[in-house]
Amino acid sequence: MALSHTILTFLSECAHSGYDLGKRFEDAVSCFWKASHQQIYRELSKMEGIGWIEAEAIAQQGKPDKKLYRITETGRNELEHWFELPCIPTPTREDLLVKVLAGSYISRSVLIQQLTDRRSLHQAQLNCYREKENAFLEVENPEEHLIFRYLTLRRGIRYESEWIDWCDEVLTAIKTKPTTLIKPIHLS
C-alpha cells in the first residue's frame, strides 16, 4: 500500500530511477520503511501501469541505461488524496518478544545472549542516527524538507533508545532472582 506512496513522495521532489529510489530508501527512510530493490522495481512497473508515474529511458555513457520515473498528474492527485486518509498503526511482530514470553522454557544464558545481542544492534543503529542528527543540527536555517526528515529521524532515535532501555530492564530483571525483582521494575 504505502510503498507506492512513499515512492510518490520521493518523485514529488524530483525524477528518480529505481536505483536512485533504492538508495533513498536506504539512507532517508530506512528507520521507518524498508524496501528491497526487487520490491521497488516491481512497484514502479505497477505504478506505471496504472498511470501514477511515467518512465523515460535514459542512455548513459560508462553506466548502464536507466529509466527515469516522473510523477504524473494522476499520481499527484492520488498522493494528495492518500495524505488525508486515516492511517492505522502497523502491527508489530517481534520474535524477541516471543522468546521473552517463553522465558520460562529458555535457559537463562541463551535469553541473556539474545537480549544483549539485540541491545547492541539497537545501540549501533542509535549511534548511526545520532550522527545524522548531529549533521542536521549543524545546518543553519534548514529547509522545511530537511526539518520533516529530521522529525522522522527523531522517531528512529526514540525507537532505538526505547529498545535499549527495555533490553536493560529485562536484563536487570532476569539477572535478579525472579521473585524479588518485581518492585524495582515497576518503579521505572
> Cβ of residue 131: shortest distance to a second copy, in angstroms?
14
Task: Please answer whether residues 59 and 65 qualify as being in contact, where contact means their C-beta atoms are separated by less than 8 angstroms.
Answer: yes
Q: For the sheet with 53-58, list strands across it.
A: 16-17, 66-71, 53-58
Does 123 bind a second copy (CB under 8 A)? Our answer is no
Does 135 bind a second copy (CB under 8 A)? Our answer is no
Does 91 bind DNA (CB under 7 A)? Our answer is yes
Can you tell me which of 19, 66, 128, 142 binds a second copy, judged by CB under 8 A? 142
- Grid cell at residue 37: 530493490
List the beta bridge partners of residue 16. Answer: 69
List the beta bridge partners of residue 67. Answer: 57
Task: Specify the amino acid at residue 16.
Answer: H
Q: Where in 23-62 is the site for DNA (CB under 7 A)?
A: 23, 34-39, 41-42, 44-45, 60, 62
Q: Are strands 16-17 and 53-58 parallel, antiparallel or unpaired?
A: unpaired
Toward a second copy, which CB reaches closer, 58 or 94?
Answer: 94
Q: Where in 165-184 is the site for a second copy (CB under 8 A)?
A: 165-166, 169-170, 173, 178-179, 181-182
The DSSP letter of residue 31 is T
Does 86 bind DNA (CB under 7 A)? Our answer is no
C-alpha distances (whole Å) from 152 to each of 29, 129, 145 are: 8, 11, 11
Does 52 bind a second copy (CB under 8 A)? Our answer is no
Does 19 bind a second copy (CB under 8 A)? Our answer is no
Judged by CB under 8 A, the stretch of 15-23, 48-56, 57-65, 103-111 that binds a second copy is 103-111
Q: How many residues does the chain have?
A: 188
**Residues near 52 by beta carbon (within 8 Å), at least 6 away in sequence:** 4, 8, 71, 72, 74, 75, 78
Does 65 bind DNA (CB under 7 A)? Our answer is yes
> Cβ of residue 125: shortest distance to DNA, in angstroms?
16
Which residues make up the interface to DNA (CB under 7 A)? 1, 3, 17-20, 23, 34-39, 41-42, 44-45, 60, 62-68, 91, 93
